[in-house]
Amino acid sequence: MSERFDAVVVGSGPVGSAFARRLAETTDMSILMVEAGKDLADTGGVNIRNLPPERREGAYAEARAFPLARVASETRPQDALSARPGTFLLRHDATGTPDDLGMPAAAMSSNLGGMGAHWTCACPRPGDSERIDFLPESVLAEAFETAETYLNVIQDGFPSNETTSFIVESLRRDFGAGRTADRMPQPMPLACRKNESGPIWGGVDVVLGPLATAEGRAARRTELRTQTLCRRIIVVDGQATGVELEDCNTGQSRIVDAGTVFVAADALRTPQLLHASGVRHEALGRYLNDQPQVISLIELDPSRAWRGSSPRDVPDQRDNVTGVSWIPFKDRDFPFHAQLMQMDTSPIPLEPRADGSGRPVVGLGLFAAKEIRADDRIVFEDERDALGLPKMRLEYSLTDGDRDRLRQAADVVAAVGASLGKVIGDPIVLPAGTSLHYQGTHRIGPEDDGTCVCDPASKVWGVANLYLGGNGCIPTSTACNPTLTAVSLAVIAADDVAKRQSV
Ligand SMILES: Cc1cc2nc3c(=O)[nH]c(=O)nc-3n(C[C@H](O)[C@H](O)[C@H](O)COP(=O)(O)OP(=O)(O)OC[C@H]3O[C@@H](n4cnc5c(N)ncnc54)[C@H](O)[C@@H]3O)c2cc1C
């Protein structure tokens, strides 16, 4: 029996979810969302970090059972890099050496919510050269506002206290010169809800809004199918006519006809699916960029950060009340995005002091904007991966400019340390791919000149009704976390579909 939906959305991460929600809110189109992975722990797309420890570990175990993750872990050499919980590495044999060739730490998630079931929710707006200058300012501003509503972005998810104030005030004093109010050091905008015992982290249940429940979806002619792999988009004479879907449990395939197809399958697998479908623009999979990352630990000066209480009173040997603070990117003066994170969200383990006393420590993460080059790219092999799609290999390296920037990052770490207290140990340069912010591989552009895959509304050049979403659409070199921008571009794409429907 043939099936037809007005729109088929591939991928259920924050971007696919935002696209479906926007369409459901602004049109009466029937929508099918397909997701290759499972609904982890039957949570409906909540952020797994909110779950109690046992359920959380169960969800991570389910994530590791996804075929690509399973194959990667079964063949993983002892000294290979480890993936963050809920993710798996593209290169199972990449070693822990902090090299950058081939982007050793490139990772993915496959489950309801994608990486958005595991993320740490930082949602800053881009600034200066990070911004997409060919999109009208007013269109972008409106899309950011909608995206912030869908993601529920707030700045007071963590309660303000004397330590938070000390951090933000010190950073403003030492890094605030020449900045406008919106680009001053400040608490990080986070996709979360306030709660007495700390924020509730946002997942795609929040982004989906009224589509998060089966009843809500039925009321808006929307269906969600997990464990359903899109193998191919069927494109005939410049028109996407449907998709080939495979039920991952039974292996059965079926064709579903579609009025519009939107692919938000991440910055690696969106180009992979287009390549498998014979849609192969010159720029597809190229301009791959990831934000080179440096991390460090900063011990806050206790005499200034802890006026009312002693560090000895701090539970768990560490400061767990400072939330996340942000120094925004600024061309030339500060070409980094800096996050100062309370330790429970920092990737660096901290040894307790021998005497058991607490220490007010925060993790500092610096993301740099990479020089973008067409040669940094995904290569699609003839061989197939564990899902039967073209195997991917990454050709990727840092430029001399990127390496200069990493050296500059070490100076910034020292300056932040001096502003707040002192740096503990040496800054660590992480292997390329660690940021999990891969961009550019199906980027948007103002004209079809071979350097971009999509038009400014994320529609694939030359295909009337095929739209792409995700960080791969971002054409600029950014240092800030990309999800808010990617969700904003999905809102613009959905509005373009709605506009075309109404004429
Ligand atoms: C630990 C962690 C922390 C992070 N912190 C931040 C942060 O603080 N701020 C920030 O901005 N970003 C952060 N990120 C990155 C952020 O999660 C991603 O930018 C975001 O999830 C991208 O959304 P997406 O919808 O484009 O893709 P994803 O969330 O990656 O979802 C893509 C989905 O598509 C599915 N899919 C792929 N191929 C197919 C196919 N052929 N058929 C069907 N389904 C398919 C996948 O299974 C996957 O579920 C973090 C990520 C992680 C893992």
Probe ligand 1: pick from 273, 436, 471, 487, max atoms within 8 Å of CB? 436
**This prediction's pTM:** 0.96
Helix (H) or strand (E) holding 377: strand 377-384
**Regarding beta strands 336-342 and 253-263, do their DSSP bridges make them parallel or antiparallel, or are they unpaired?**
unpaired
Ligand 1 atom with the shortest distance to the CA of 87:
53
* Residue appearing with tokens 């997409």: 132
Report pLDDT digits (tens) over 266-302: 999 999 999 999 999 999 999 999 999 999 999 888 8
- The CA distances from residue 351 to 244, 297, 340, 355, in Å, are 51, 11, 19, 12
Phi, psi values for residue 485, rounded to 5°? -65, -45
CA of 15 to the centre of ligand 1 (A): 8
Sheet of 361-368: strands edge to edge? 186-187, 324-327, 336-342, 361-368, 293-300, 421-429
Q: What is the mean pLDDT of residues 428-438?
A: 94
3-state DSSP assignment of residue 461? coil
Q: Which residues line ligand 1 (CB under 6 A)?
A: 10-16, 34-37, 84, 87, 109-111, 114-116, 118-122, 229-230, 264-266, 269, 273, 436, 470-471, 481-483, 486
Report pLDDT digits (tens) over 71-127: 877 878 888 888 999 999 998 888 866 567 899 999 999 999 999 999 999 999 999
For domain 161-201+293-368+399-431, the CATH class is: alpha beta
- DSSP per-residue letters across 290-338: ---EEEEEEEE-HHHH-SSS-GGG-GGGB-----EEEE--BTTTB-EEE
Determine the residue type at 393.
Answer: R
pLDDT band of residue 315 (cuts 50, 70, 90) is very low
* Nearest CA among 1, 3, 2, 9 for reference residue 465: 9
Ligand 1 atom with the shortest distance to the CA of 14:
25
Q: Where in the chain is the domain with CATH 3.30.410?
A: 161-201+293-368+399-431
Report pLDDT digits (tens) over 189-221: 999 999 877 789 999 999 999 999 999 999 999
Rg (CA), the chain: 22
pLDDT band of residue 483 (cuts 50, 70, 90) is very high
Q: Which residue owns the Cα nearest ligand 1 atom 14?
A: 119
CA of 433 to the centre of ligand 1 (A): 14
Probe ligand 1: pick from 19, 119, 120, 488, max atoms within 8 Å of CB? 119
CA of 306 to the centre of ligand 1 (A): 38
Q: Which two tokens stand for residue 477?
A: 């070199």
* Residue appearing with tokens 């050091």: 185
Q: What's the confidence (pLDDT) of residue 144?
A: 98
% residues pLDDT > 70 (the chain): 92
CATH number (3.50.50.60, 3.90.76.10, 3.80.10.10, 3.30.950.10) of 1-152+202-291+374-396+436-486 reads: 3.50.50.60
Q: What's the confidence (pLDDT) of residue 351?
A: 61
Catalytic center residues: 437
Least confident window among 7-16, 81-90, 96-105, 325-334: 96-105
Q: Where in the chain is the domain with CATH 3.50.50.60?
A: 1-152+202-291+374-396+436-486
Report pLDDT digits (tens) over 24-49: 999 999 999 999 999 999 999 999 99
Probe ligand 1: pick from 115, 247, 326, 329, max atoms within 8 Å of CB? 115
Q: What's the confidence (pLDDT) of residue 326?
A: 98
Report pLDDT digits (tens) over 352-391: 555 555 567 889 999 999 999 999 999 999 999 999 999 9
CA dihedral (404, 477, 418, 348) positive or negative: negative
